Amino acid sequence: MPIVHGVNASPFVRKVRVVLAEKGIEYELNPVMPLGDNPEYRRKSPLGKIPCFEDGDYVLPDSSCIAAYLERTQPEPALYPADAKEHGRALWYEEYADTKLAEVCGTVFFQRVVSAKILKTGCDEATVENAVKELQPPVFDYLEGEVEEGSEGIVGGRFGIADISLASPVVNLQHAGFDIDAARWPKLSAYVERVLARPSYKTIVEEERASFSAL
């Protein structure tokens, strides 16, 4: 059975797990923590980051690489658009989610959950406030303008890799006790809610909530 190395609090691990769930691929989760210095893991994931995927003698780090690989090995259900322009847009939203959105949601998650509850080194509330008031709004404004009301997917109205990628960092925001304000960003908030209501997401997020509520 394939192995996903990484812990489920990571938006990138979650993204890969949702891709696997959507494609109905069974796997084992090996809870490798980020920022470790295990030389054996470094050989598999040279940047030392999670997730890393392993299937027999095939090893592949990086959530985007893993998702693209899985699309080739198990094409159904398709998670990438067939149309070239839509495919390009899907990759763009994936990139935006993995960089900018993950950063503005991750800052809050790091302070409120990782630092305060796991490392027990306290929460820098000024950093949290800056993220919520200054860093997140322009990102949410941009996405609010990109999402079509009531659509299942941000690209062509069809669910796929862009939606999986965009919803994942928002789960970290929710774990930290925040969310996208539905009054200010109604289309984006409802869209993320629809994505997170899918069975693939629901199962994984419920499992995560149970582990976080124990902290």
Residues of the shown chain interacting with ligand GSH in the complex, contacts defined by CB under 6 A? 10, 12, 34-35, 48-51, 62-64, 98
C-alpha torsion 9→14→20→26, nearest 10:
10
Supply the minimum distance, in Å, between the C-beta of residue 190 and ligand GSH. Answer: 26
Q: Which is nearer to ligand GSH, 22 or 62 (CB)?
A: 62
CB nearer to ligand GSH: give 36 or 75. Answer: 36
Min dist CB 29 to ligand GSH, Å, is: 14
**CB atoms closer than 10 angstroms to residue 123:** 17
Q: Cβ of residue 6: shortest distance to ligand GSH, in angstroms?
A: 7
User: What is the amino acid identity at position 9?
Assistant: A
CB of 172 closer than 8 Å to CB of 135:
no
Which residue carries 């800056």 as its tokens? 130
Least gap, CB of 115 to ligand GSH (angstroms): 14
Output 128 or 171, the one with its CB closest to ligand GSH.
Answer: 171
Q: Which is nearer to ligand GSH, 10 or 174 (CB)?
A: 10
Instruction: Please choose, from the candidates 76, 78, 86, the residue with its C-alpha nearest in 3D space to the C-alpha of residue 156.
Output: 86
Interatomic CA distance for residues 87 and 127, integer angstroms: 36
Bridge-partner residues for 52, per DSSP? 5, 61
